């Protein structure tokens, strides 16, 4: 017999308002334990220095993580002028200083250069792998890490506040792989000074915003009892209401940009077996690219629509 997985087959998304301090991995572990879920993952690392939106996937929702990792993200961050730090944020050691403090006009004039597709060198203290090792591990060991520039896309970047001559606050909408720390470092250099990230908050990841987010303490302070539909029925009394249910968003919430297509029961069975199904006929909709096949409002599989057929790429094993 196969080894039974520990935990319950809970599936869905929990949008955590990550506090300052813990790592993203630590947050995922706490959410997984709170829901007693069999598996969990997150959609995009948020540094310990950063707070804000950290979407945590449970169960079958982990299969949709790549789609959320590729989604656009919104950040609010503060740059402290006059200090260069080896981590490009306030946690690092000061490596250089400058007395130059950019004016508001100078900052506004420099921002357009950073909107659109730009070339960016990631921070040395990042999770990028170099010859199989994480860059931050090599940097901590004293090695001179040289990372290659990469192309990222910034959709919008604006100055929203200048609380002092030493600091400016920005908001940014960007695509996958953009490093706020690199932006702060490069912008400061263009302004004739040094700079590092003093504050970072993620405001949105794809469809998930602060309105959806729940504080980590709120999740973990609830009783551990969770499974309403997944707990075994002992034939005694009905299961108690699940206090965490409002925090658990449906798997398909992360797929709001992917069109849904209703399929028949027979086609759903074939898709679950990894087989392609026809999407032809007089009344069949014309679909292209990635679609989410649905049966009675429940996601069955993510599929690629090609030449009148749906080819399953990720199959969901949700309870009926």
Positions marked catalytic: 47
With beta carbons less than 8 A apart as the criterion, state whether 317 and 60 touch: yes
Helix (H, G, I), strand (E, B) or coil at 121: coil
CA neighbours within 13 Å on the CB side: how many for 70? 7
Q: What is the CA radius of gyration of the chain?
A: 23
With beta carbons less than 8 A apart as the criterion, state whether 81 and 167 touch: yes
Residue 180: closest CA among 165, 205, 201: 201
Helix (H, G, I), strand (E, B) or coil at 132: coil
CA dihedral 288, 294, 296, 300 (to 10 degrees): 160
Q: Residues of 183-208 as b/e, b for ≥16 C-beta within 10 angstroms? A: bbbbbbebbebbbbbbbbbbbbbbbb
Give, in order, the Cα–Cα distances in Å from 183 to each of 29, 111, 169, 238.
30, 10, 13, 55
| Element spanning 158, H or E | strand 150-164
Give 159-163 contacts, CB < 8 A, sequence gap 24+: 159/104, 159/107, 159/108, 159/111, 160/76, 162/104
Measured distance CA(53)–CA(46) in Å, rounded: 8
Which pair of structure tokens corresponds to residue 6?
Answer: 């520990």
């Amino acid at each position: 017999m196969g080894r039974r997985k520990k935990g319950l087959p809970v599936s869905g998304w929990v949008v955590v308002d990550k506090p300052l301090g813990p790592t993203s991995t630590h947050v995922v572990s706490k959410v997984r334990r709170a829901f007693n879920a069999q598996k969990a993952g997150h959609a995009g690392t948020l540094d310990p220095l950063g707070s804000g939106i950290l979407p945590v996937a449970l169960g079958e929702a982990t299969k949709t993580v790549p789609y959320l990792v590729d989604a656009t993200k919104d950040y609010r961050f503060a740059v402290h002028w006059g200090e260069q730090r080896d981590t490009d944020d306030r946690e690092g050691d000061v490596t250089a200083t400058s007395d130059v403090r950019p004016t508001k006009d100078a900052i506004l004039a420099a921002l357009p250069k950073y909107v659109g597709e730009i070339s960016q060198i990631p921070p040395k203290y990042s999770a990028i792998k170099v010859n199989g090792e994480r860059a931050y591990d090599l940097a901590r060991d004293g090695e001179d890490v040289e990372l290659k520039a990469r192309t990222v896309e910034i959709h919008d970047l604006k100055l929203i506040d200048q609380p002092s001559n030493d600091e400016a606050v920005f908001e940014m909408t960007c695509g996958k792989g953009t490093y706020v720390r690199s932006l702060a470092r490069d912008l400061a250099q263009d302004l004739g000074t040094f700079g590092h990230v003093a504050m970072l908050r993620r405001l949105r990841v794809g469809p998930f915003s602060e309105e959806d987010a729940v504080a980590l303490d709120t999740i973990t302070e609830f009783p551990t009892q969770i499974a309403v539909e997944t707990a075994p029925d002992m034939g005694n009394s009905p299961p108690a209401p699940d206090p965490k249910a409002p925090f658990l968003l449906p798997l398909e919430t992360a797929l709001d940009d992917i069109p849904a297509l209703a399929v028949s029961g027979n086609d759903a069975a074939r898709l679950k077996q990894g087989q392609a199904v026809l999407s032809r006929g007089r009344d069949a909709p014309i679909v292209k690219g990635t679609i989410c096949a649905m049966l009675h409002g429940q996601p069955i599989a993510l599929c690629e629509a090609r030449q009148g057929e749906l080819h399953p790429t990720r199959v969901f094993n949700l309870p009926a």
